[in-house]
Amino acid sequence: MKVLVTGASGLLGGAVAAGLRDAGHEVRTFQRRPSGVPGVEDVLGSVTVPDDVQRAVAGVDAAVHLAAKVSFAGDPADFERVNVEGTRTLLDALRTAHVERLVFVSSPSVAHAGSSIVGDDATAADPEHARGDYARTKAKAELLALAADSADLRVVAVRPHIVWGPGDTQLVERVVERARAGRLPLLDHGAALIDTTYIDNAASAIVAALHRVDAVHGNAYVVTNGEPRPVAELLAGICAAAGVRAPAWRVPAGLARAAGSAIEAVWRVRPGEDEPPMTRFLAEQLSTAHWFDQRRTRTALEWEPQVSVDEGLRRLAHHYRR
């Protein structure tokens, strides 16, 4: 197949493009800057510009949509424009070009309302109760994508949970930078169980979803390593891999949530250059359990993760030693 991958300049998008290339597909990527993935065709542009999107989808058989605004803070209108309207623009272009398959890459946060998730399967995206502008707009976009599912355009949504690995700037780099500066607390005792997804596993699951889309379209699947660990253990493992001291000081979760709400309000008026040090969504993620039953996902996608958390941490340590 000739497959379009949007957002391939990011860690996960690049890994998906490489995985599809290695599986023998002809790969075109579409994003605002070169993907850096060898052996693929780059088309530069924005999902918010219809002419760019139409140029990107011309002649492809399938698409994997990862392009999104991902941040804990920012102008709500930007999230809406990129995540919701960008998805709408892509869907219109795919239908016009008679593209038959789409994997929409989503997030478990689209169905997270702030309380613990303990062994759940993928529940319906819920924009009304999703926490933060990113989760809210991704929920709206996922609903748009799945509503477009039909015999002519088969759509499946895949929700990788907390993707990390060497080169990750969204989670790993921020954990390491804040730990090095002594600004990384544990909320309560850091005992909440959370699941994560090593980058290679997330990419291979998305490739598997594309191969299985004719059988599983119309559904959403959460993807994880299936190895829940306490937050404190995961943070300590990342810090050890990078050679920095693990967080040892603690903040009550309730205080962190209140502080996060206050910081978000200030950030809307006077945004900083980087992500805010705390948001309510981040405080909830660090203090509540969120791990998922993977049996349905693995059966439907005919997929198994190949890299364990411990092996991922060894690879991360090797990356930092280099």
Q: In the sheet where 2-6 sits, what is the strand order?
A: 41-44, 26-31, 2-6, 62-65, 101-105, 154-160, 220-223
d(CA 211, CA 118): 29
- Total residue count of the chain as it appears in this document: 322
Catalytic residue among 134, 198, 221, 320: 134
320 is catalytic: no
Q: Is 269 exposed, middle or buried (0-12, 13-18, 19+ CB in 10 A)?
A: exposed
Report the DSSP beta bridge partners of residue 250: 186
**Cα separations (Å) of 21 from 17, 27, 83, 197, 207?**
6, 6, 26, 21, 10
Residue 26 is classified by DSSP as E
d(CA 139, CA 208): 22
Q: Which residues are catalytically annotated?
A: 134
